[in-house]
Amino acid sequence: MNRTALVVSSCLFTLLSACGGGGGRRAPVQVPPPPPRPVSILVEVYDPVTNFVWQDVSVRVVESFQEWSGVIYPSPFFDIYLTDATGRVFLDEYQLAFVEVGFVEDGNDRAMLSSDLAQDEAVVTLEISGAGFVTVYVDVPLSWNQPDVFVEVPFN
């Protein structure tokens, strides 16, 4: 074998070893899961006959079903939120955590849903009521894919 062939084969061996071309097992790439997302519900209460919105109608978080536990968590509080002039109430991630309906919370006391398939869904039950009207209950599904939900509630 001549000297040039020896140098070239030595260089190829070094190059293949450095590139991992030696046929050894490579460590799997660890991809971190997507981060949890805060959840919120925007509720609009309207009259289905006139299509006008209702102001000062009460909205209360009654309970939620949490996928991560498979349990329904009734809220120990009876806090009500009144619709504004636009007929809306915004229940953000802090309010949904405050009413204690089983959401996993982050270090900032925000209601969150995980991307994990066993922890990425919840159903929140809301009570809509007003003086002289029949109370309406609405189930609002939330998911990690859709953590911010807008729900229109006909009320008359």
In whole angstroms, give the CA distance from residue 79 to residue 38.
21
Q: Render pLDDT for 72-130 as a digit per residue (tens, 0 to 9).
A: 999 999 999 999 999 999 999 999 999 999 999 999 999 999 999 889 999 999 999 99
The Cα-based distances of 119 to 64, 83, 94, 142 in angstroms read 13, 30, 19, 11
Of 125, 141, 148, 128, give the one whose Cα is nearest residue 54: 128
Q: Render pLDDT for 36-51 as a digit per residue (tens, 0 to 9).
A: 999 999 999 999 999 9
The Cα-based distances of 70 to 38, 121, 148, 153 in angstroms read 20, 10, 21, 26
pLDDT higher than 70, residue 6: no
Backbone angles phi, psi at 123, to 5 degrees: -125, 120
pLDDT higher than 70, residue 7: no
pTM for this prediction: 0.81
pLDDT band at 25 (very low <50, low <70, confident <90, very high): confident
Q: Say which CATH topology domain 37-154 has.
A: Immunoglobulin-like (2.60.40)
In whole angstroms, give the CA distance from residue 57 to residue 49.
17
Domain ranges of the chain: 37-154
In whole angstroms, give the CA distance from residue 102 to residue 38.
14
In whole angstroms, give the CA distance from residue 14 to residue 37.
47
Of 132, 149, 142, give the one whose Cα is nearest residue 44: 149
